[in-house]
Amino acid sequence: MSAAIKVADRVPDVEEHPESIWDKAFYKFRNDRAGMLGLGIVLVYFIAALGVWFGVWGGEWSDVEGPKWGSMSAEHWFGTNIIGQDIFQRNLYSTKTAFEIGLIVAVLSTILGALLGAVAGFFSGTWIDAIVLWMMGVLDSIPFYLFVAAVAFALQGNPWAMHVAMVSTFWTTTGRLVRGEVIKLKNFEFVEASRAIGVPQITIIFRHIVPNTFHILLVQATIVFVAAIKSEVILSFLGLGVHDGVSWGLMISESTLEVLAGFFNNFIWASVFLFVLVMAFNMFSDALQDALDPKKVAES
């Protein structure tokens, strides 16, 4: 009996499920164990970040209350750092910092990539396309760290300099992918039909064409999220990243001194927290890609 119900659960009901890429993707994603595990872990981190955001926990990240290099104890779960700050609290706060950077950079660079990529693709072969392609080429050929440093100079140490630099370089990949897809889509009959009944070009691009690239945008956003978190670590280490608060990059950066003295708590816990989040996000992103790949959806 229960076996029969299980089987019935697993077979997608054609009547209830219209032939939409999203329904199939959702069904496929739900059956991807690694992807679901990744999503679960990301959600746990997200809740931790929200808790810090609303002031539920993580507020004591900057208090100097423990001993220097205290070991792991009930009071300080992961021990304390060189000046006696609680490493667990700092990890919680860094989770918030990472989500802030990841979300801001992912959302903004995806929007920018979608806008410019769609316009370039729709007007492919014209001067508009040429300018957007030229911008992508230029931004891709400036060394990333130099670009961040240059933006930081230009914004005179503004704490958002790192975000600005990431958004203005990370959109290019999304832009290229969207451009390619739009060039394909703009010759479809539904575009021709809407043109025939006199729909304005802007409406055609953003109401009719761009929504058909959402599967690319979603996957790209997750990839950019991971890239932003990983870049933050290196930029903060180089002194070009986070200046207010604490982040995993700053924690690892300060831990290089402690490591030389033989105290590994700060380094290990910051690394583990960072690694688990990035790994989970990568698993989630992979499963999403598998689920949303039109070729693979067609096969299943």
The rounded distance, in Å, linking the Cα atoms of 188 and 4 is 43
Nearer to other proteins, 125 or 198 (CB): 125
Q: Does the footprint of other proteins cover residue 297 (CB under 8 A)?
A: no
Residue 247: CB minimum distance to other proteins, A = 12
Stretch that binds other proteins, among 11-19, 40-48, 106-114, 271-279 (CB under 8 A): 271-279
Residue 127: CB minimum distance to other proteins, A = 12
The rounded distance, in Å, linking the Cα atoms of 180 and 172 is 12
243 exposed, middle or buried (CB, 10 Å; 0-12, 13-18, 19+)? middle
Residue 14: CB minimum distance to other proteins, A = 28
Nearer to other proteins, 182 or 227 (CB): 227
The rounded distance, in Å, linking the Cα atoms of 152 and 161 is 5
Residue 240: CB minimum distance to other proteins, A = 7
Given 240, 242, 287, 288, the residue binding other proteins (CB under 8 A): 240
Q: What is the secondary structure of 71-134 as a DSSP string? A: -S-SSSTT-B-TT--BHHHHHHHHHHHHHHHHHHHHHHHHHHHHHHHHHHHHTTTSHHHHHHHH
Residue 289 CB contacts under 8 Å (≥ 6 apart), including other chains:
219
H helix count then E strand count, the chain: 13, 0
- For residue 171, give the H/E element and its range: helix 161-185
Nearer to other proteins, 41 or 104 (CB): 41
Nearest CA to 38 out of 292, 291, 276 is that of: 276
Q: Does the footprint of other proteins cover residue 73 (CB under 8 A)?
A: no
In the window 107-166, what residues touch other proteins (CB under 8 A)?
134-135, 137-139, 141-147, 149-151, 153-154
Q: How far is the CA of 56 from the CAs of 98, 102, 270, in angstroms?
A: 18, 21, 21
Asked if residue 157 lies in contact with residue 241, where contact means CB atoms within 8 angstroms, the answer is no
Residue 20: how many CB atoms within 10 A of its CB?
A: 10
Nearer to other proteins, 160 or 188 (CB): 160
Structure tokens at 193: 């039909």
Given 29, 72, 271, 293, the residue binding other proteins (CB under 8 A): 271
Q: Does the footprint of other proteins cover residue 37 (CB under 8 A)?
A: no
The site that binds other proteins (CB under 8 A) totals a number of residues, namely 41
Nearer to other proteins, 204 or 216 (CB): 216
Nearer to other proteins, 36 or 139 (CB): 139
The rounded distance, in Å, linking the Cα atoms of 112 and 79 is 42
Residue 173: CB minimum distance to other proteins, A = 12
- Binding-site ranges for other proteins (CB under 8 A): 134-135, 137-139, 141-147, 149-151, 153-154, 230, 233-234, 237-240, 249, 252, 255-256, 259-260, 262, 264, 267, 271, 274-275, 278-279, 282-283, 286
